[in-house]
A and B are shown apart, each in its own frame.
Chain A
Amino acid sequence: MGNFFRVAWVVMRKDLTIEARSREIVFTTLFFAVACVLVFAFALVREGRALEDAAAGILWIAIAFAGTLVLGRTFERERYAQTLQGLLLAPADRPAVYVGKLLGIVALLVAVEIVLLPLVGLMFQAAFANRPLILAALLLAGTLGFGAVGTLFAAMLGRARSRDVLLPVLLYPITIPVIIAGVRGTAALLEAPPDAEMAWFWIGLLTFFDIVFVTLSLWTFEPLMTE
């Protein structure tokens, strides 16, 4: 078990080192996510008042779009010199490689969310600071579920010619329950007063999705990546 987490840590650290050096994924994803929020803000905010629950929806749409970019670029790096094959040739547990990639992607998405939250809060007058810990748990659970499916699909599509088109086509239908749970949970927290009980219900549901998605991905990663 120690070996499993050691490999996951090594893979995640490598991904974050590369990103810290190039900052390519974080900058492009942030730029895209911020542009997305601004466009929606101009469309949905009238005279300083946003549509009900718009902030929750926009936040999660921006996370989903940004997540797709993060997934695509992260695996494009592995495809460039076929380094994913190098990873899979190592005697390490292949599910550990998956977990390492997943943790790296979740870390990048969390960095994007840290910038997105105040921006969405400002543009849509959303009181995200009301229940910060519950919101953090909700975002983390949702990001993990989205990343779990996305990492599997992005790795699987690494050799497909039309991977950029196929990734969202496969990813969005399967992660819709995660996005919906995230939106409803966030909307519950933005009510006045915040409905913490409802938010915890959605966090519970997201945790259930996470367990299902991560378990299925760990189970299928090795056979899917073995030609």
Chain B
Amino acid sequence: MSRPAFDFTHLTVDDVSRHFGRRRALARVSLECRAGETLGLLGPNGAGKSTLIAILATILAPSSGQVRYGSATGREAGAGLRRTLGLLAHDLYLYPELTARENLEFFARLYGLDDPAACARAALARAGLDERGDELVSGFSRGMRQRLALERALVHHPRLVLLDEPFTGLDDRSSARLIERLADLKKDGCLLIVATHDIGLAEHVIDRAVMLQDGRAMPIPDGTGGLRDRYRQAVGSA
């Protein structure tokens, strides 16, 4: 797997705040993530997880503070940075009027990949959708769309993988597959950031977790006991 010209092995979020009008979505969040690490962003609905993911994906600009991809900010890295980002957001960025294969080929072409048809074939196989690749996405279940959207986000082998509630709509088998897929990405040296409130599933995936509550980040302490217990402790002490 070849890496693009702009690349990085660590991500630093430094004192990032974000306001929407008078509403504060993030307040002075700082964190780090390194290649080969999976960082979990945990927290209840409305805690600021999706806002932080959008900032990391360069979709939103922080109101203050900065994000550094290696040593460069998003502005300094420019379009080269976008080649290294893979985002699975709440909205799946799939065209329902196109087939699964057409969607993947379209994004592969947009990313300038060499053989879009081969990329789409491989992605469909990874999503377990090779039999249904020529069906319109509008006929897919939410879980199938989610699997397809994940492969759409990963079709260009990004360095930084941002997943916002990746387990949404997935059955047990698909969730297990996703956990395996994330383990493979980690082995490949990706930086993985997973925002979820499904702590049971997150426990199988993440190396380290940060809890977001009311836009503030607080680390979930290491220690004995399951992630759920430590998360509850952190929520209790917040």
Physical interaction between A and B: yes
Write the residues of chain A forming the contact surface with B, with a CB cutoff of 8 angstroms: 3, 6-7, 10-11, 14, 17-18, 21-22, 77, 80-83, 85-93, 226-227
Question: How far apart are the CA atoms of A22 and B58 in the complex, in Å?
Answer: 33
Scan residues 80-94 of chain B and give those whose CB is less than 8 A from a CB of chain A. 80, 82-83, 85, 87, 89, 91-94
Q: Which of B61, B82, B92 contacts A89 (CB 8 A)?
A: B82
**Cβ contact within 8 Å between A10 and B82:** no
Scan residues 32-79 of chain B and give those whose CB is less than 8 A from a CB of chain A. 57-61, 79
Scan residues 81-131 of chain B and give those whose CB is less than 8 A from a CB of chain A. 82-83, 85, 87, 89, 91-98, 102, 106-107, 109-112
Nearest-CB residue, chain B, relative to A79: B91
**What are some 10 contacts across the A-B interface (CB < 8 A)?**
A17-B98, A18-B98, A77-B95, A81-B94, A85-B59, A86-B93, A86-B152, A87-B110, A89-B57, A89-B87
Q: B118 → chain A, closest Cβ, in Å?
A: 17
- B-side interface size class: 20 to 34
Please report whether the interface of chain A is mostly helix, strand, loop or mixed according to DSSP: helix
**Cβ contact within 8 Å between A6 and B93:** no
CB neighbours of A7 from chain B (8 A): 110
**Cβ contact within 8 Å between B110 and A17:** no
Q: Which of A14, A21, A77 has the most chain B CB atoms inside 10 A of its CB?
A: A14
5 additional A-B residue pairs with CB within 8 Å, beyond A10-B106, A89-B82 = A14-B98, A18-B95, A82-B89, A86-B152, A91-B83
**Cβ contact within 8 Å between B93 and A82:** yes
Please report whether the interface of chain B is mostly helix, strand, loop or mixed according to DSSP: loop
Question: How far apart are the CA atoms of A88 and B57 in the complex, in Å?
Answer: 11
CB neighbours of A91 from chain B (8 A): 79-80, 82-83, 111-112
Q: Which of A3, A11, A18, A85 contacts B93 (CB 8 A)?
A: A85
**Cβ contact within 8 Å between A93 and B79:** yes
CB neighbours of A80 from chain B (8 A): 96
**Cβ contact within 8 Å between A90 and B95:** no
Q: Which of A81, A89, A90 contacts B59 (CB 8 A)?
A: A89
Q: Which of B91, B106, B111 contacts A85 (CB 8 A)?
A: B91
Question: How far apart are the CA atoms of A1 and B106 in the complex, in Å?
Answer: 20
**Cβ contact within 8 Å between A90 and B102:** no
Question: How far apart are the CA atoms of A226 and B97 in the complex, in Å?
Answer: 26
